[in-house]
Structures are given as C-alpha cells and as structure tokens.
Amino acid sequence: MQPTDLLPHRDPFLFVSEIREVDPGKSATGVWHLRGDEAFFAGHFPGRPTLPGVLMLESLAQLGGIAVLADARFAGKLPLFGGIEKARFRRQVLPGDSLELEVTVGRLSSRAGTGRGRAQVGGQTACEADLLFVLVDRD
C-alpha cells in the first residue's frame, strides 16, 4: 500500500514516503525519507539545514490520516487538523535522515478523533505530540 492510495496529499506536501504497518482505525507506522533537496531546507536554515518542527507534526498527522482512512467506516472522508497538544521537539532532523513515524489513534467517532504520535531518527525521539482532528466529507 502506498500513502497516496489513502491520502489526498501529493508532492510537495506529502510527508510519508512509505507505510510499514496499518491497523485500520487504530494505529500505523511509516517513514518519511528526507532526500535533502526539499525546498524548505534551503531557507531553514542556510548553512545548517534542519527539518521544521511543524512539518514533523504534519507528517505524524498524515500517518494518522492513513490509519483512519484505512478503516472502511471513514472511506470518502478527509481528516483535518483540529489541534495539537503536548508537542515536544527532542532532536534535530537533518537532510538525508529517515524519520520513523508511529501514530496510535485514541478516541474516534464519526466526526472527530484523537491520536498520539512520535517521530524518531535512529531510535531517538525527534518529536511527539497529541493530535486532534475532525472528519469532513471530501467533496
């Protein structure tokens, strides 16, 4: 399964390169391989490229969207950010790194839900956060 099989996101705003495992409506693991030539590295920061924290959060949200959209009950829906709580950034993520992603879905109803995400590089936590989302019709 490819991320684009479930997510409407496309380059340059697709931040999940591969899906490793999905338990529909419950959890997912995946990876974002950072090539190093992504445009944001040029400006964040010149001479010391670092992945912006908000993009780490977005990659976790996209993986959470994959977990939710893999559940047949939510086919045709679009998960949108409703909020972020307890976000913590623990290490820099650099060009060439592979960001290992994991999301566990918490409360989930027909209109909204919660999740907990963690992003790691080489087994070290780079980012973790509680995610809130709402589900809307895609049309």
Instruction: For 58-122, give the DSSP string.
Output: HHHHHHHHHHHHTSGGGTTEEEEEEEEEEEEE-S---TT-EEEEEEEEEEE-SSEEEEEEEEEET
The catalytic residue among 44, 91, 94, 130 is: 44
Distance of CA 130 to the CA centre of its chain: 12
Is 9 annotated as catalytic? Answer: no
Task: Tell me if 50 sits within 8 A of 42, measured CB to CB.
Answer: no
Catalytic residue set: 44
